Amino acid sequence: MADQQDLMELAKRRGFFFGSNGAYGGTAGFYTFGPEGASLKHNVEAAWRDQFTLRLGNDEIEAPTIMPEAVFEASGHLDGFDDMLVECAECGASHRADHLIEDAVDDIEDAEAVGIERVGELIEKHDLACPACGASLAGEPVEDFNLMFETSIGPGSGQPGYMRPETAQGIFVEFPRLKEYARGQLPFGVTQIGTAYRNEISPRRGIIRVREFTQAELEQFIDPEEDEPPLAEVDDVEVTLYPATEQNAEDGAYIETTIGEAVEEGIIGSPWVAYFLGIAQGWYERVGVDMDRFRFRQHLSGERAHYAADCWDAESEIGGNWIEIAGFAYRGDYDLTKHGEHSEDRFTVFKRYDEPITVEKAVVDPDMSALGPEFGGAAAGIAEALQELAERNPDAFDEEEVTVEANGEEYTVDTEIANFAIEEQTESGEHITPHVVEPSFGVGRTVYTLLEHGYSEDEVDGETRSYLSLAPEIAPTNVAVFPLVSNDDALVEVATDVSRTLRQAGISVFYDDSGSIGRRYRRQDEVGTPFCVTVDQDGLEGDSENTVTLRERDSAAQIRIPVADLEAELEAIFSGEQTFGALRGRHGDVETDVTTA
Ligand code: ATP
């Protein structure tokens, strides 16, 4: 397993990521992805897009990252998007109160679930000390701290805005238009990969908890009464589940099962959530997460976000801790209902019945020539109130007079003036608010997991080497090409040619002619390049075709193959049609190791 220090050091040295603004003393919670890291991150995003947008047949959008206050008033983030803050009276350091409890109290894995009051009591009971200065935190108030970054839209302070704390709201607020693109037909899914901002109380563990990060989210809109996920596709997918019941039990254990069985036995309540867990399991495996260090954990009831009816997290084991890397929430109709209530637009879809139905409807047709003179300016409001009353309580119109409220005042009207009737109407459908199922992935946490799970050390030629076992699809570079020495024109020419040919085939190539060949191999091992191609004199000698050595990262084994075969053989490996092992079997290992050259 990777030592955290080693990994952070490698990340910085090799250009995966490092703390931002170092020249100005650094800013906690902000990280820059260097050349290798940016490339790795883009590859993770591309693989996510391939699975969750393309293969699932969804649409992708790109919304602004700043949104007006009204959006977050409606979504509940203004009121409820808080973490528990405790400040040290001695040194002024801020801490996540729930995290202090989790670190200090053995049997509490998720202190958010126990509530803010209890967290305060526990700090007192265990007399927890400030991690920064050691002073006691007992008795310090624990407060809710809203995680959103506030800003102003335009000059002045008239229009407050917020940096979005999740990409999801950018999809929800555009639902009235997005449903048009989906031709009003459920189910449909909309994805977005973009930046989210959270003013985390205490950012920590490198890129695991930062204040600006990338999310990849899918909002799946469904008709809860009709739409079923294609569960058969993931029925047999094997998963490790840690449901709430097991977490609460004294001898709780993981459940090793399949998605199909988990749904059948009710371990996962929502088939849609189960479907996405199955798809996600396959995706994490594809990009290179170690499935022995991966699980799905259900949220405990006190832990769920304000919008979630049920939630499962994908968690990976990092440095001995389980870290949430994605959340799968059943958000119900919460978000669309709220935006419908708070805005002018309609957040519903029209659901057509198989056959039109006939319904009886109570209607009024008030005689305005009588209402107008009697009630003046209030007449229109009274007419509306009469219609509302007719729908709510038609019996009220049995009396000679009806009383309604309009503009805060009561009015009594002759029932005759209202012209009350029961009419038969034909309805072809109804407006329903879709439910939302949301897989929400943290891209940075996925990247970190891949680095940690891919990090290995072994002995090669009597020396310890470290390498990153990244999947070819994810590795920043697929193939490194070296001329054995840089001052031999023939070698440089062939190596340059090989680079160009591979690049034109869509393979990402890093060309390097500096330093000893051993150092060049080490460097590529450390950034996870799956293959190195070396052009040496032996390969260009004689009348037969030119050959090069091909070295695989994980085994450090080398074979010699004709230049002419290189592109096809590599493509076959990258597409999964063949393995390096099979190629090695056919060609045999190189006898003299060029690394000693
Ligand atoms: P946590 O409990 O760790 O704060 P969360 O439950 O608030 O996370 P979600 O709101 O479910 O997270 O966000 C979805 C995903 O976004 C998470 O699974 C995670 O991968 C990522 N994420 C959330 N907060 C951060 C952060 N501060 N830094 C990096 N990634 C984050």
User: Contact at 8 Å (CB) between 284 and 294?
Assistant: yes
Average pLDDT on 476-480 reads 97
pLDDT at 532: 98
Residues 119 and 83: their CA atoms lie apart, in Å, by 12
| Beta pairing, strands 463-468 & 479-483 | unpaired
User: Contact at 8 Å (CB) between 70 and 342?
Assistant: yes
Which of ligand 1's atoms lies nearest the C-alpha of 443?
Answer: 20
Provide DSSP, 101-148.
HHHH-TT-S-GGGG-HHHHHHHHHHTT-B-TTT--B-TTPPEEEEE-P
Please, which pLDDT band fits residue 549 given cuts at 50, 70 and 90? very high
Residue 576: pLDDT over 50: yes
Contacts 24+ apart (CB under 8 A), 573-576: 573/472, 573/531, 574/472, 574/473, 574/478, 574/507
Nearest CA to ligand 1 atom 7: 305
Please, which pLDDT band fits residue 302 given cuts at 50, 70 and 90? confident
Provide DSSP, 374-390.
HHGGGHHHHHHHHHHHH
Which of ligand 1's atoms lies nearest the C-alpha of 211?
Answer: 27
Residue 361: pLDDT over 80: yes
pLDDT at 597: 44
Is residue 226 helix, strand or coil? coil
Please, which pLDDT band fits residue 593 given cuts at 50, 70 and 90? low
Nearest CA to ligand 1 atom 15: 442
Q: What residues are paired with 144 via a beta bridge? A: 84
Nearest CA to ligand 1 atom 26: 209
Residue 564: pLDDT over 60: yes
Residues 7 and 13: their CA atoms lie apart, in Å, by 10
CB burial class (10 A; 0-12, 13-18, 19+) of residue 566?
Answer: buried
The CA–CA distances, whole Å, from 471 to 160, 345, 559, 574 equal 44, 46, 20, 9
Ligand 1 pocket check for 327: Cβ under 6 Å? yes
Residues 101 and 86: their CA atoms lie apart, in Å, by 11
Is residue 55 helix, strand or coil? helix
Ligand 1 pocket check for 206: Cβ under 6 Å? no
Ligand 1 pocket check for 444: Cβ under 6 Å? yes
Residues 544 and 557: their CA atoms lie apart, in Å, by 24
Taking residue 556's Cβ as centre, other Cβ atoms within 10 Å add up to: 18
Give me the amino acid identity at 5. Answer: Q
**Structure-token pair, residue 439:** 């897989």
Average pLDDT on 534-551 reads 90
- Residue 328 region by backbone torsions, left for phi larger than 0, else alpha for psi between -120 and 50, else beta: beta
Distance 445 CA to ligand 1 centre (A): 9
Taking residue 13's Cβ as centre, other Cβ atoms within 10 Å add up to: 11
- Eight-state DSSP code of residue 187: S
H-type helices in 15-64, by residue range? Answer: 35-48
392-447 tens-digit pLDDT: 999 999 999 999 998 889 999 999 999 999 999 999 999 999 999 999 999 999 99
Nearest CA to ligand 1 atom 3: 324
**Structure-token pair, residue 404:** 């309604």
pLDDT at 161: 97
Residue 245: pLDDT over 90: yes
Which of ligand 1's atoms lies nearest the C-alpha of 215?
Answer: 16
Residues in Cβ contact with 288 at an 8 Å cutoff, skipping those fewer than 6 apart: 450, 453, 454, 469, 470, 471, 474
Average pLDDT on 378-388 reads 92
Distance 347 CA to ligand 1 centre (A): 27
Residues 208 and 325: their CA atoms lie apart, in Å, by 9
pLDDT at 58: 98
Ligand 1 pocket check for 283: Cβ under 6 Å? no
Distance 316 CA to ligand 1 centre (A): 13
Residues 74 and 66: their CA atoms lie apart, in Å, by 15
Residue 543: pLDDT over 80: no
Please, which pLDDT band fits residue 462 given cuts at 50, 70 and 90? confident
Please, which pLDDT band fits residue 309 given cuts at 50, 70 and 90? confident
Nearest CA to ligand 1 atom 25: 209
Residue 531: pLDDT over 80: yes
Ligand 1 pocket check for 96: Cβ under 6 Å? no
Which of ligand 1's atoms lies nearest the C-alpha of 213?
Answer: 29
User: Contact at 8 Å (CB) between 370 and 417?
Assistant: yes
Distance 314 CA to ligand 1 centre (A): 11
Say what percent of the chain tops pLDDT 90. 87
Q: In what order do the strands lie in the sheet with 558-562?
A: 509-511, 479-483, 531-535, 547-552, 558-562
Which of ligand 1's atoms lies nearest the C-alpha of 198?
Answer: 27
Nearest CA to ligand 1 atom 4: 209
Q: In what order do the strands lie in the sheet with 82-87?
A: 94-96, 82-87, 142-146
Cα–chain center distance at 121: 34
Residues 82 and 69: their CA atoms lie apart, in Å, by 16
Is residue 91 helix, strand or coil? coil
**Structure-token pair, residue 389:** 């009353």
Residue 205: pLDDT over 90: no
Residues 445 and 303: their CA atoms lie apart, in Å, by 20
**Structure-token pair, residue 242:** 């840690």
| Beta pairing, strands 294-298 & 310-318 | antiparallel
Please, which pLDDT band fits residue 592 given cuts at 50, 70 and 90? low
375-404 as b/e: b if 16+ CB within 10 A: beebbebbbebbbebbeeebebbeeeebeb
Nearest CA to ligand 1 atom 16: 442
7-38 tens-digit pLDDT: 899 999 999 999 999 999 999 999 999 999 99
pLDDT at 79: 93
Averaged pLDDT score across all residues of the chain: 94
